[in-house]
Amino acid sequence: MAVRFAHLAVAAGQIALDVLSRSEIIAREKIDRSPVTEADERIEAFLIKALSELLPGVSVIAEEAVSRGEAVRAADVFLLIDPIDGTKEFVAKSSEFTINIALIVNKRPVIGVIFAPKKSRVWFAGATAYAVDVSAGAAFAPKDDWRQLSVRLGTPEKLQALVSKSHMDEETRLYLSRFKNLVVCPMGSSLKFCRLAEGRGDFYPRFGPTMEWDTAAGEAILCAAGGAVLDAKGSPLIYGKAEKSYRNGPFVAWRNPLIFQKATFS
């Protein structure tokens, strides 16, 4: 099923590139003051239709539909869609935006797909995590060319923290200040999870607000590669929090879950 989701995300990527090809991208401001574009709405409509046909009867919770008040209650099994994660990067015509799809079962992400159209790479996971280089709208390479992801072990002398490029906050800065020998790498969208899953980075702290559709696909991929996403109590994130409007609390994503126990603090 993860592969079928990945094919849908890659197909949806062509919509994003079509909108990006225009001289100007028009973004409207939503009630929460975050931007939304035509690409968000068209990709979301495409994915809702395709996923509903693929998994009839399974609820689909999608960012733009929720923002319009079209609330769908989460069940034991449901889908999460973020049609454009990193809309600010998309509007700026940066390559750091993604299309995210996740399947949630019993409050945990069990399948995740992240496609970066301008980077021509898709990451996806069920029990195993993979990365495949593929252009938007194109066919996949044979499975022999897929790269299985596994986080590198050990604790380096100099940790690399991946942080939000557009949503840095004071609490995250304070957290980072506790570490010695730290390299900080700002990055947009869910690419931070993908980079950790590829073993290129050590942790991603996020204390500012995020929604479940921002994190579910990335968490599924990172965990399948051997990493972890932990809340302030050291527990995995819980999904389907309709009573909290699907908002996450603070978390840290770790390449190696043991790093947070071994990291040197000032």
- Supply the CATH number for residue 72's domain: 3.30.540.10
Domain boundary among 148, 179, 196: 148
Examine residue 154 and state whether it is found in any structural domain, yes or no: no
Q: Are residues 119 and 171 in the same domain?
A: no
The rounded percent of the chain whose pLDDT value lies above 70 is 95
The answer to the question of residue 194 being in a domain is yes
d(CA 91, CA 154): 38
Tell me whether residue 169 is in a domain. Answer: yes
- In this structure, are 180 and 83 located in the same domain? no
Domain end marker among 125, 148, 171: 148
Task: Return the minimum-mean-pLDDT range out of 68-72, 237-241, 252-256.
Answer: 68-72
* Measured distance CA(205)–CA(37) in Å, rounded: 27
pLDDT of residue 264: 40
Give DSSP secondary structure letters for 189-210.
TTHHHHHHHTTS-SEEEE-S--
Locus of tokens 């990006």? 20
Residue 76 has a pLDDT of: 94
Mark whether 46 and 122 lie in a shared domain: yes
Q: How confident is the model at residue 261 (pLDDT cuts 50, 70, 90)?
A: low
More confident residue, 77 or 33: 77
Q: How far is Cα 76 from Cα 98, in angstroms, rounded to an integer?
A: 26
Residue 266 predicted with pLDDT over 60: no
What is the predicted pLDDT for the residue at 70? Answer: 80
Tell whether 72 is covered by a domain.
yes
Residues 173 and 218 in one domain: yes
In whole angstroms, give the CA distance from residue 254 to residue 84.
24
Cα 189 from chain centroid (whole Å):
7
pLDDT at 265: 35
Strand partners, 170: none
Domain total of the chain: 2
CATH number at residue 248: 3.40.190.80
Percentage of the chain lying above the pLDDT 90 cut: 78
Nearest partner of 76 among 220, 212, 222, 238, judged by Cα: 238
Q: Are residues 23 and 128 both part of a single domain? A: yes
pLDDT band at 71 (very low <50, low <70, confident <90, very high): low
**Does one domain contain both 140 and 190?**
no
Determine the structural domain holding residue 213 and report its residue range: 159-262
103 in a structural domain: yes
Same domain, 101 and 179: no
Does 54 reside within a domain?
yes
Examine the domain organization and report whether 215 and 250 are in the same domain: yes
Q: What is the mean pLDDT of residues 157-161?
A: 88
User: What value does the mean pLDDT take over residues 214-222?
Assistant: 99
153 lies in a domain? no
Task: State the pairing for strand pair 203-206/182-187.
Answer: unpaired
Same domain, 197 and 239: yes
H or E element: which one contains 173?
Answer: helix 170-176
Closest residue by Cα to residue 210 from 46, 117, 112, 86: 86
Residue at a domain's end among 148, 169, 192:
148
Q: What predicted TM-score, i.e. pTM, was given to this entire model?
A: 0.95
Q: What is the mean pLDDT of the chain?
A: 92
Residue 9: inside a domain: yes
| Separation CA 151–CA 180 (nearest Å) | 22
pLDDT at residue 179, rounded to an integer: 87
Q: If we measure between CA atoms, which residue out of 164, 213, 158, 170 comes closest to residue 185?
A: 164
Checking if the pLDDT of 29 tops 70, the result is yes
pLDDT computed for residue 260 by the predictor:
62
| Mean pLDDT of the region 145-161 | 86
Q: 136 and 6 in one domain?
A: yes
User: Are 113 and 168 found together in one domain?
Assistant: no
Shared domain for 96 and 62, answered yes or no, is yes
